[in-house]
Amino acid sequence: MSSLNHFLLLFLELVIATIIIYQLVLRTLPYLMYALAKKATVKNANKLRYFDLPTPQNKTKMPSPEILYSIAFYDVRKKNVRISGDIPTDTYWSIALHTNNSINFLTKNDAQYPDKKINMLLVKSDKSAPFPAKADEGLVEIIRVPSPKGIVVLRILQPNYFNEESTSFKDMQQSIVVEEV
């Protein structure tokens, strides 16, 4: 075999090996990253994390700078999870629930809550889970979640973002809690 043929054969083997390794990395890396992120947030499950509006000092990047974000990882494997609190009356807000693989299964906003209070109870979707009784705090919206672990994302529009009048919205944001019940 000539040295050129030998070189071309080695080159072809190298290209094929590179493609296979590249495909393996592309397919497994997102799962590895998600697994690491989930493991890191296990101790933070069922607690809402509040994010501030971006300022020159606070460089947290979010998709929309005029929106206050709050995020929680829920886990209903052992206990149900309640999301409750007062919601803004004079601005847009929304809540989105996602499964553990980031599929959105519920999105609601301010127009769907005329009493301006949120009171959701996340429960397992399996039929063996007991259906919870109504809570003493009034009407409870019971949500059977498709996966026992997932993500809650709350968004509150701060309409006067550039006027720095965000204290009432920040208080409203922090009145919403996620807790095990």
Per-residue confidence band for 106, with pLDDT thresholds at 50, 70 and 90: very high
Are 152 and 102 a contacting pair, CB within 8 Å?
A: no
Compute the average pLDDT of residues 127-136.
54
Distance of alpha carbon 63 from alpha carbon 59, whole angstroms: 13
Best CA proximity match to 93, nearest among 122, 121, 64: 64
User: Which of 17-21, 71-75, 132-136 has the lowest average pLDDT?
Assistant: 132-136
C-alpha to C-alpha distances, 172 to 70, 155, 177, nearest whole angstrom: 11, 11, 11
Answer yes or no: is pLDDT of 35 > 70: no
Per-residue confidence band for 133, with pLDDT thresholds at 50, 70 and 90: low
C-alpha to C-alpha distances, 129 to 46, 60, 79, 114, 177, nearest whole angstrom: 19, 39, 10, 30, 24
Compute the average pLDDT of residues 5-27.
79
Per-residue confidence band for 117, with pLDDT thresholds at 50, 70 and 90: confident
What integer pLDDT is reported at residue 33 of this predicted model? 47
